[in-house]
Structure 1
Amino acid sequence: GLTGKYYYKYIYKRNAWKAFAGNPSDASDVVDLYRQAGSIDVTASTQADVDKIVLYRTLADGTTYFKHSEVSNSTATITDTTADSAITIGLEEDNTVPPKAKYVVLHKDRVVYLNCPDETDGKSLVMWSKASYGEAVPSTNYQYFDRDDGEEITGGASIGDSLVVFKRNKMMVLTGDFSESSELYSVWSDAGALNHTVIIPHEDKVTWLSEEGWKAFDGRNIFNLSDRVEGWRKDKYWTTPQGVNYQALYYPDREQFLCLMKHSGNTDIISVGHYLISLLAASQGAPEFAKGNLVGWTYHAYPNTQLHRIHISYWSLTILPILHNI
């Protein structure tokens, strides 16, 4: 039997699809034993995807919880005769479920949740999961991006050690191990993304469409990719009054990216950009005047049709606009 004062907690566990354990219950009342077995009542979960109840217990007169046993979700009572020396796996205390989020990014083996509308100041909120456990989001794993500035997060991307988060007129870069909210961050103004459909991640950089045109970020520097087509922005293709929509994609085989620009008062166009100088070369000493010429641009106008979206067909190695005649 057991002798000493013990406390118990239990969690629900889902084994189907991917094993995931929820937050622990409140601690039980003290169970004071003397050479006898403990008896612990548990309540089954009503959620259909819960398979197991996992019981945790302190050592005699202790405060740290260790795994005792794993039983079926239909179990009502668990008998405890397990010696202290037989329990060694600690309890994860903070497995809070993820927030509702408009955008999700995978970064450094964590799931990052961006723009969380149900949370306080959620439009400016970034939250991230535990490493390797995307459904466990500790309450301390968060960072606000200039809340109360009248803007909301429009998307994000992962580039090496950097997590890039965009608003319409600025971007935030977070770096660090994310393990204990120890990240460092910086905010860049005049570098925002219009919306999530024009943020294109690459292996070594991210490109996006901003109020100032196309830009790229390699983890350290921002490059302007569209000085040569600034006139389009002035014609309001690159601003977003009501009636404007965008979609962008990257074609890696041709080092080419495209952007469909729909405007209520202008002809629908697809702009096409080709890299002329790599961003890596530019960051290692290309002259300042060349930075605006990294991408060569052309465009295709569709005055008699309405474009809904664009996609790449790898079967035919062609770029296909989806057209609908007016």
Structure 2
Amino acid sequence: MKIVEASGAPRTIGRCTGEALREEIREHLAFPYIVDRADWEQRLPVFLSTLQRHLPDAVEEMEGAAEGANVPSEDIFRLNLPMVPDALNITEGCTNIAFADGPDGPIWGKNNDGLPGQRRRPVCARLVRRNDGIPLLVFTFCGMLATTDGMNAEGLAVGHSSVGSIFQQSDEHVPIRLWAYEGMMHSRTTADFVRHMTRLPMRGKGYSILCVDRKGATCSIEAPCPLMQVRRPDAGHPHMHCVNCYQLPTLADADRRDEADKRNAHARWRLLDRKLSEKMDFGLEDMKKLLRHHGDPGICRHGERDGACTEYSMIGLPQSGRVLFSDGNPCESEFSEIELS
């Protein structure tokens, strides 16, 4: 996994990123295109006009990335502005966990999972210092600005799990991943980020997003786009998690999946409810242990039996400004560390 640092204006950041990831971006672009390209090209002007109204810096950064990677700007737009699918691969899965407090302060951890037997898309860590924003470390697929996973220098950590949405969406809605990326550059707390995310209707696949800040404020934004609801921690249980289903009862069927499709997500939900209720220190080593958990279900996932393969793992320590990551299954390697300062 490459670590790319870039600072300055949005186009400069994009250009530096594109140059550093030129081969990886081309590799990502070579993956099969899963939607009607002619339809996407017809809708692109509306996608871009929406971004120019609400996120002009994102357009600048994408155009800069295209310049740096020496590819057409439409290729970078294609990676960042997908058409929303009507259904999801049922084996898709990611697990996010947040400790509200402990000997190492609040902690966010996530395993990012892919499909068994599927070729892995190239991934990178981007340390972005934009002139007008809070420094930010995000983990994303090469050529994409962000996937809603990372931590900023103020100690706000955010991670997402794909879920789905049954609701009608508009091309004039802002893409949720790009809106979250902008929000992380301007939010110092979980409350700030929630206010940002609920300002506008958004377009996207539908996600559950877990947040924790340096003071230990946690929540999960459950987002079957364009709808947005906030799930708070239960009284007396400040630690939280999110998996590939909505946990608010009113959103239980808002994801286009039937119960069989959600069986593994529900099993991880029950497992983490139990684990977070057990006696532990809720420190860094406990987070690593959870991310390395094997069983039925597993959090560290290895293929067909687990329904997915863990591609990489991330841990954010908001109070110390440290971010740890493991490229591949966390049970098979130690975590590397990045100082976010």
Structure number with greater CO (CA < 8 Å, separation at least 6) is 2
TM-score by length of 1: 0.28
The structure with more strand, counted as a fraction of residues: 1
The structure with more helix, counted as a fraction of residues: 2
TM-score by length of 2: 0.27
Q: Larger Cα Rg: Structure 1 or Structure 2?
A: 1
